[in-house]
Amino acid sequence: MLYNVLDVQQICRMFMAMIATQVVRPMSTNPGGVVDPADLIGRGRELERLQRSVNTGGAKLLGDRRMGKTSLLRALSSSLDEAGHTVIRISAESKDPEKFGRDLVAEMRRNRVLRDHVRRWEAELGGELKVNVGVGGLRLTGKATRPRVDVEDDLFRACADACHHLRPYRLVFIFDEITALASRLGQLVPGGPEEFLRSLRAPRQELSGISMIFAGSVGLHHVLSEQSPVNDLDPVTVGPLSQSDALYLGRCLLRGIGIPEVDELRVAHSIVEQTCAIPFFIHRLVQDLAERGANRLLEADIVAMVDDALRDDRWEMQHYRDRIPRYYGNDAELARAMLDEYATADQPLTVENIVDRLSSTELAQQARRPKVLNLVDRLEDDHYLVRVGAADRFATSLLRRAWLEMKR
C-alpha cells in the first residue's frame, strides 16, 4: 500500500516535471516589485480573457492583494500595444486627484499615438495640458496661461476622436487601483465613487472603440454601494498560478539562487505545495532560502520555514482576522465563527452545513440562512472563500493553515 502511494506521488512529480517544459532559466527573486512582462510566468488564461474583453468594452480584474494583478496588467498593456491597440495604463493610487491628472497627461505624452494630439490640444486649449479629475469625469483643460481658460473637453471623447483613424484597433484605458481614487472622491463628495465610475461607464457605452480595464486592491464592492457603474465589465479573477506554472517559476528562482540542480525539481515542488502556488509567496520563500545560504535542502526544511512564517506571522496573515470587524461590522462575530467552521472542516461546506454547525452555538440566532448566504458571498468577494459546486472552502490551504494557527 505504502509503495502504491509513493508511486503515485512519484508519478505526479514526473508529470509535473514533464508539463513544465519551458526552459528553466535563472531569475532573481522579486517579491512584490515591478515585474518585467517578459518575466511574468503563467497567467495565459487570464490574459486571454482580458484581451477578449477589450472587444466588448473591458473587464474588472479581481483578486486578493499581491496575487499579481498589476503584473498581469503590465503584460496585458504590452500585448495589446504589440497587437496595435492604443493603451493608456495608469495607477490611480493617489490621495491627490490632481496628481492622478498629472500622471495621466504624462502617460498620454509617452504614448506614440496620443503624444502629437497632446501637443495639438495644448495649442487649442491654451498652455500646458491638464486633466481635471472630478466625480463628473475626466476633462482636458489648459493651464491658465492664456485667457481661454474656459475651454474644456471630455478626455475620452478627445482621445476617441484622436484614435478614430486606427479602428478597428481600440483605445484601451487600464486603470489600476481605481478604487483608491474612487474612495478619495467619495471622501470629497457623498456618492462620489458611484458618480465617478458612472462617468467612466458613459464613454464605454456612448463612444465607439473605447475599452477599460479596472483593478484595485480594495474590492469594488467595498467602494460602491451598488454595482451598476461597473456591471457592464467582465469579471476576470486572478488567483494562484497553475501548478505547472508555479513549478516553473519556483525552478527559475531556485536556479537564480544557485540551489544544486539535482534538488531543484524536488524543492520547487515542495515550495509550490507549501505556498499554494501563489507567486508572491514563492518569491518570498525562495528569498528566505537564498538568505539562509542553504546548499542541500529537504522538503522538511520548506515545511518548517512556512510553519515558522505562519507562526511568527511574518507573512502578515493576521490581517485577514484583524480586518473582519472593519469589513463586516455587526456581523463580524458571525463571519469569524463561519470561517472557523470552514477552517476545521475536512470537506467544503454548504450554507446549510454552516447553519447546522452554528445552530448549537451562541450565534444560532444570528446564523439564519439568508444572513449566512449573504456573508458567504461577501467572504468570497473578500477572497476568504471559493465556491466548489454548491459548497465553499477556504480560498487556499495556506490561508486555512494560517487561520488555524491564528485561531490557536
Partner 1 sequence: MTVSGFPRPSRRVRPFTPSQESAAEQSDRTVGREETLRILVDRLVSAATSGNRAHSILVGPRGSGKTHVLNVAIHRAQQRPEVRQRLRFVRFDEDAVGITRYSDILQEVLSALSPSRSGSRRAALPFNPEEAIAEALGDQVLVLVIENLDRIFSVFGEGGQQDFRSWVENSRQVMVLATTPLLFPGISDRALPWWGNFGISHLEELNVEQGRELLIRLARDAGDTALADFLATDKGEARLRAINALAGGSPRIWMILSECLTVELLDELVPAVEALLEGLVPYYQQLLWDLSPVEQRLIRELADGPQQAATVAELAKAAGVEQRVAASTLGRLADIRWVRAEKVPELDKRSTWYRLREPMLRHHFHYRSAADQPLPLIVEILRAWYDPEERRAQLARAKPGSVLERFAAASLCGQSSRFSVAYLDRDLKALQADARTWLHGGASESCTPEAGSLIDLAVAAARSGPVPAADLIRTRCLDGSTGAAAGAIIIHAGTQDGASSEADRVAELIRFAAGVTEGRTKKVLELESASWCCETNPGQAADQLVVLTASLPPDDLLALDARQRWAWFTALADDPASAQEQCEALVADCVRLFGPDDPDTLKARFQWAFYTSLAGDAGAARVLYEALAADTARVYAPADPSHASIQLQLALVALDLGEPVRGINHARAVLNSPDPQAAELTMWAAEVIRLSIDRLLSGDAAQISDSNDPDAQLAATLQAAIAGSAEALVRLPSELVEIVESLRASSETVGSG
| Closer residue to partner 1, CB minimum distance, 16 or 395 | 395
Q: Are 209 and 171 in contact (CB under 8 A)?
A: yes
Q: Which of 317, 304, 276, 290 is nearest to 408 (CA)?
A: 317
- Is the N-terminal amide bond of 229 cis, ω within 30° of 0? no
**With respect to partner 1, which residue has the nearer C-beta, 164 or 323?**
323
Site size for partner 1, by CB under 8 A?
A: 51
Q: Which lies closer to partner 1 via its Cβ, residue 292 or residue 371?
A: 292
Residues 211-240 that bind partner 1 (CB under 8 A): 217
Cα separation, 70 vs 34, whole angstroms: 8
**Binding status of residue 301 toward partner 1 by CB under 8 A:** no
Establish if 325 lies at the interface with partner 1 (CB under 8 A): no
Nearer to partner 1, 95 or 387 (CB): 95
* The one segment of 8-16, 45-53, 64-72, 333-341 that binds partner 1 by CB under 8 A: 64-72
Residue 289 C-beta: closest distance to partner 1, Å: 10
134 binding partner 1? (CB under 8 A): no
Q: Cβ of residue 275: shortest distance to partner 1, in angstroms?
A: 14
Q: Does 35 bind partner 1 (CB under 8 A)?
A: yes
For residues 48-68, one letter each, b for 16 or more C-beta atoms within 10 angstroms of the residue's C-beta and e for the rest, the string is: ebbbebbeebbbbbbbbebbb
What is the DSSP annotation of 325-365? HHHHGGGHHHHHHHHHHHHH-SS-B-HHHHHHHHTTSTTTT
Q: x/- binding map, residues 158-177, to partner 1, per CB under 8 A?
A: ------------------xx
Closest CB to partner 1 among residues 167, 292: 292
Compute and round to an integer the Cα radius of gyration of the chain: 24
What's the grid cell of residue 214? 479596472
| Distance separating alpha carbons of residues 34 and 97, to the nearest angstrom | 23
How does 138-166 read in b/e, with b if 16+ C-beta sit within 10 Å? bbbbbeeeeeeeeeebbbbbbbbebbeee
Q: Which residue, 367 or 395, has its beta carbon nearer to partner 1?
A: 395
Contacts of partner 1 in 142-161 (CB under 8 A): 143
Residue 251's Cβ-count burial label (10 Å; 0-12, 13-18, 19+) is: buried
Using the rule CB under 8 A, which residue among 25, 52, 95, 148 binds partner 1? Answer: 95
| Piece in contact with partner 1 (CB under 8 A), picked from 208-216, 221-229, 291-299, 395-403 | 291-299
Task: Name, in order, each residue with C-beta under 8 angstroms of 169's C-beta and a sequence gap of 6 or more.
Answer: 83, 84, 85, 86, 163, 209
The one-character DSSP state at 176 is: E
Q: Out of 96, 150, 307, 308, which residue is the one contacting partner 1 (CB under 8 A)? A: 96
Least distance to partner 1, CB of residue 356, Å? 32
CB of 315 to partner 1, least distance (A): 9
| 357: amino acid identity, one letter | R
Question: Rule CB under 8 A: which residues touch partner 1?
Answer: 28-39, 65-66, 70, 74, 90-96, 99-100, 102-103, 105-107, 109-110, 128, 143, 176-177, 180, 217, 256-257, 280, 283-284, 287, 290-293, 316, 319, 323
